Structure 1
Amino acid sequence: MYKMATTGVSTCPFATSKALSREHIDTSPAVISDNVDDILKEYDVLREACPVAYTNQYGGYWLMTRYDDVKAAALDSETFISSVRAVIPSDPRGLRRPPLNFDAPNHTPYRTALDRTLKPARIKRLAEPLQLHAEALLLPLMQRKEGNICTEFAAQFAAWVETEWLNLTPDTAPRLASTASAWVNAWRRMDGEKTTQFSTQLYDIARALLADRRENPRDPEEDPASSLLLERNSSGEPLEEIHLVGCIRQSLVVGMVAPPLMLGGICNYLSQDQELQQRLRDDLSLIPAAIEEFVRLFSPYRGFARTVSKETVIHGQTIKPGVPITLTYSAANRDPAVFDNPHEFVLDRPNIAMHMGFGRGRHRCVGQPLAKL
């Protein structure tokens, strides 16, 4: 396996044509690039030659690329914990919010509250208003016969999805779209000052929502804030205000980041595959299967991070507590050991349910039902 040796060359037993040096890992497209093609090619190299690789980038972390390893780690929430580091790079301010940054049992009441509001009956009721929002947002692009599907449609539509799910006032949607976009860009630049500025605005929305639900509670199966207020911690006490606000604020953000990336990837692919585009137009029943395959191919998050609760050995590498290890879902989803022709779109792929585009285990995507809708 790859070793952090000062000689610069590893002795990966998995390597076939070459060993991978420390410098190679640190400058690998899988670590530093935003070019999708380059990243995916490098995942293929690492998966074969060095499936658990260490890089000094972003303070140092391990990169896991094989499907079986990623899945096993995602399902083992006692060993692979989220309360130390859950994202690489992490929030420049070091803040921790539930449920993403909490482990069980602290994680459980927040997850229970959100899941309660995403049952099939609620999703079905949300379908009609969201359809109307989609049509209204797409109409200007169709009239002009051009437009940016990511910024003009997907980001705006995601804000409406959040607004309908959280029962926010209609004027919140455009404000949420612009604020979330600015926050994401500040995060990417690791600009702590701007990240805080825009994050504060998201916190303001969360605090106002929570204060209103204390005064005007709603059906907990229809309203996330009301559902959260019902929950108790493992000691039977009400959840802390700071974490309630943090959970709502986390919910505001996570639903705003992935959709523009996902929808952009789908539309870009369909623009190049006219035959598939026409098949989906002619037979709408094919769309659910197509969506699953698109999520496998274009997972909007490369992955999430964990740290280990105890010293753990994977493929001969010793992972120590406190050092992040990434569960690279986008690499796992293209593992040829699991998915035949992994870089190709295959409609009705027999094992498509195995994809990890929504994660696995306790921290699987809360909004998965909304995302599929």
Structure 2
Amino acid sequence: MTATVEFELEGLIENFDVHDERLKDHFYETLEAMRRRGPVHRSEAHGGYWVVVGHREVTQVARDWRHFSSAGGVVLAGTKPQKYVPVEYDPPQHQSFRRLLNPHFSKAAAATFEPQLAVFADKLIDAFIANGSADLTEAYAKPLAAHFFFDLFFGLSPDEAAQCERATNQAMFSSSVEDQIEGFSQLERYVRYLVVRRRELPSDGGFIDSVRTGEVDGRPVTEEELIGIIQLMIVGGDDTAVHTIGNVLLELGRHHDIRDRLAADVSLMPSVLEETIRHMPPAVSIMRTVTEDIELGGQQLQVGDRVILMWSSANRDETVFDDPAEFQVGRDNIRQHIAFGGGVHKCIGEWFARMIVSVAVERLLRRLPDLVVPPDAHIDYRMGQSRGPATVPVTFTAS
């Protein structure tokens, strides 16, 4: 390691911040260096907080909601005005909302969207298949994920969807705290407008109206709670789906043997997907707040301390996964990845994520079985609490 890179890493570690632009090129390198030094580190960014990078310690914090609460927020910089429901509640309130929401996010519920999503995927492919090349982020992943979340799931118009997307992108991926605050504020204001408008219209039977008329613990869902739920689903769903699709396609475009095996046998899709989200998790991190003095990974944490769980680091922990930087389909212990989190707060949308990505990849490989990411292609990444390729340039046989 050169002195220049070592200096770069020292600065990145001491002031670790997932919004640091330098992490786009040094992300996994920085996390590996941190794991070598220990499982828990102190960052002086944003007023100071703890960064948890070891698999065992990340898993411990994720499962121990009594000592590591979500009620203090899950976004480090305090950049959003609205409490997100139910991720920023702890039990028993958290479970009450999960009982209301879980039926909407079951494996069976996800499967009902497959036919419509497949039809839309084919239309997108029709638009570029004759070209012999495409940026699959812009031409495929983004519009496909947006169609699912904003059209099929939320029932929004294209203009409404575009406004939500712009605000979310600013909130999640701006390096400026001020820009993040403004992005979250814009999203909150627009979702509030959508909820108020829904009150004046007949129920369409969709997700928003189902939750709006639902109950938790024997009382109606409040308007503020509904606004928090919708924002969470937008922030937690759209970008992570785009990033996961992009990551899978990057892996397949670089590992042609795996691409060919999957094109010939789609039953391999679950194995390919699980290894992709272990290797490059779309959700990078989440925050917890310490509720009682506790030792973690050799560090003494105190009440009120903020803690960041690095899913991306835990999934590459050398003590758990052999050759963790390598993309290896068929790992014996793949179920030990925690890309969807763990404990009571495990991601509610994991079945939707698996469905969306599976449909996206399977439909694409039917039509573009020889897609290739050019070896000299530079891949830029969007970096924040979610991470994924800003572009996925591929070439293929035109038809």
Superposed pair shares fold, TM > 0.5: yes
Q: In the alignment, which residue of structure 1 is the partner of 2:288?
A: 306
CA distance in 1 between partners of 2:334 and 2:25 (Å) = 22
Structure 1 residue 111 and structure 2 residue 98: aligned? Answer: yes
Q: In the alignment, which residue of structure 1 is the partner of 2:350?
A: 368
Compare relative contact order (CA 8 Å, sep 6+) and give the higher one, 1 or 2.
Answer: 2
Displacement of 1:139: 2.2
Distance 1:304 1:319, change over 3 A: same
Q: Residue 269 of structure 1: SS of its match in structure 2?
A: helix
Unpaired runs of at least 5, structure 2: 1-5, 356-399
1:125-165 deviation per Cα after TM superposition (whole angstroms, max 9, x unaligned)? 21111111222223213233333322332222112222465
Q: In the alignment, which residue of structure 1 is the partner of 2:268?
A: 286
Displacement of 1:337: 0.9
Distance 1:279 1:67, change over 3 A: same
Correspondence for 2:301 among 319, 322, 336: 319
Structure 1 residue 123 and structure 2 residue 110: aligned? Answer: yes
CA distance in 2 between partners of 1:155 and 1:24 (Å) = 30
CA distance in 2 between partners of 1:102 and 1:28 (Å) = 26
CA distance in 1 between partners of 2:258 and 2:10 (Å) = 42
Structure 1 residue 179 and structure 2 residue 164: aligned? Answer: yes
Instruction: Calculate the TM-score normalised by the size of structure 1.
Output: 0.83
Query: Do the aligned residues in 1 keep the contact of 2:55 with 2:314 (CA within 8 Å)?
Result: yes
Structure 1 residue 47 and structure 2 residue 35: aligned? Answer: yes
Structure 1 residue 271 and structure 2 residue 258: aligned? Answer: no
CA distance in 2 between partners of 1:307 and 1:281 (Å) = 45
CA distance in 2 between partners of 1:155 and 1:321 (Å) = 41
Deviates more, 1:304-313 or 1:35-44: 35-44
Letter in 2 for 1:232: V
CA distance in 1 between partners of 2:12 and 2:108 (Å) = 50
CA distance in 1 between partners of 2:203 and 2:73 (Å) = 36
Displacement of 1:28: 5.4
Q: In the alignment, which residue of structure 1 is the partner of 2:371?
A: none
Correspondence for 1:200 among 189, 195, 211: 189
1:20-99 alignment to 2 at 5 Å?
25-27=13-15, 32-36=20-24, 38-90=26-78, 92-99=79-86
Q: Residue 42 of structure 2: SS of its match in structure 1?
A: strand
Letter in 2 for 1:231: E
* Aligned pairs, number: 344
CA distance in 1 between partners of 2:130 and 2:74 (Å) = 42
1:291-335 deviation per Cα after TM superposition (whole angstroms, max 9, x unaligned)? 000011110121111011111111331212222111111000001
Query: Do the aligned residues in 2 keep the contact of 1:29 with 1:42 (CA within 8 Å)?
Result: no
CA distance in 1 between partners of 2:129 and 2:76 (Å) = 38
Q: In the alignment, which residue of structure 1 is the partner of 2:363?
A: none
Correspondence for 2:214 among 230, 235, 243: 230
Query: Do the aligned residues in 2 keep the contact of 1:97 with 1:246 (CA within 8 Å)?
Result: yes
1:129-208 alignment to 2 at 5 Å?
129-163=116-150, 166=153, 168-169=155-156, 172-173=157-158, 175-177=160-162, 179-187=164-172, 188=174, 189-190=176-177, 191=179, 192-208=181-197
Displacement of 1:55: 0.8
Letter in 2 for 1:363: H
Please, what is the CA RMSD of the aligned residues?
2.6
Name whichever structure is richer in strand by fraction: 2
Query: Do the aligned residues in 1 keep the contact of 2:38 with 2:297 (CA within 8 Å)?
Result: no
Distance 1:287 1:211, change over 3 A: farther
Distance 1:246 1:120, change over 3 A: same
Instruction: Calculate the TM-score normalised by the size of structure 2.
Output: 0.78
Distance 1:229 1:64, change over 3 A: same
Query: Do the aligned residues in 2 keep the contact of 1:29 with 1:39 (CA within 8 Å)?
Result: no
1:229-268 alignment to 2 at 5 Å?
229-233=213-217, 236-268=218-250
Q: Residue 213 of structure 2: SS of its match in structure 1?
A: helix
Task: Give identity over the alignment, percent.
Answer: 25
Displacement of 1:121: 2.7
CA distance in 1 between partners of 2:266 and 2:59 (Å) = 31
Displacement of 1:93: 4.0
Letter in 2 for 1:133: F
Letter in 1 for 2:219: E
Query: Do the aligned residues in 1 keep the contact of 2:73 with 2:287 (CA within 8 Å)?
Result: yes
Q: In the alignment, which residue of structure 1 is the partner of 2:391?
A: none
